[in-house]
A and B are shown apart, each in its own frame.
Chain A
């Protein structure tokens, strides 16, 4: 079945560091890809999405490019802030033969001032 792998469980950075959170997926069709961010005590917030190869999604300084060749959708930000500390989830949208969203395990980002 479809799956999403986030290799980093936790990431610790200092303010103004460059962020990369890796997301790789496995899907039989051509699903849309999403990034969500979840702050403590809140539900996941939609960051952005991409639905075709080489499309870049972006929001709030974060960006990711849909890469069908490497089956990846890595999240990047050039300069993180302490307020970016949260859990980030990569997700696959519904796809041919799969009506569900598939979420990665999440990556906890801690940014130290």
Chain B
């Protein structure tokens, strides 16, 4: 079956520092990977959509300068939160899908706490 792993599951960083999170698809080819932030106030905020061999599409209020993403192959993607501040807290989810299917499979998320 389709599985998506994310690590770390939980991380704490000091305000102004950066942290990197990873997403791994197992059992299928993740042609596109979407990164979301989930918080109590906003259910699913799409940060960016990354499709292999295409430019990464960032949503309004999210930039490559703040959330650089790498999607080097069909099983792996990473995103970094640069200069994290309190408003960056939340559960970061990776949703992966194949090129032919329309079902998005999520990882367990990386919970970011900022002190």
Contact = CB atoms under 8 A, between A and B. Distances in A.
Interface in A28-47: 32, 34, 36, 41-46
By secondary structure, the B interface counts as strand
Contacts, number: 44
B49 interface: yes
Contacts of A103: 43-44
Interface string A86-113: 0001000110000111011110000000
A49 interface: yes
A51 interface: yes
A80 B83 CA distance: 45
Interface string B47-91: 001000000010000000000000000000000000000000001
A94 B103 CA distance: 10
Given A89-B43, A93-B102, A103-B44, A43 B109 contact: yes
Given A103-B43, A103-B44, A44 B49 contact: no
How many chain B residues sit at the interface, stated as a range, is 10 to 19
B6 interface: yes
B108 A42 contact: yes
Nearest to A44: B106
A94 B105 CA distance: 14
B106 A94 contact: no
Interface residues of A, number: 21
Nearest to A48: B103
A87 to B, nearest CB: 9
Interface string B1-24: 000101000000000000000000
Nearest to A6: B43
B25 interface: no
28 contacts: A32-B102, A36-B106, A42-B108, A43-B4, A43-B6, A43-B91, A43-B93, A43-B106, A43-B107, A43-B108, A44-B106, A45-B106, A46-B103, A46-B104, A46-B105, A46-B106, A49-B102, A51-B102, A89-B44, A93-B104, A94-B102, A99-B57, A100-B49, A101-B34, A103-B43, A104-B43, A105-B43, A106-B43
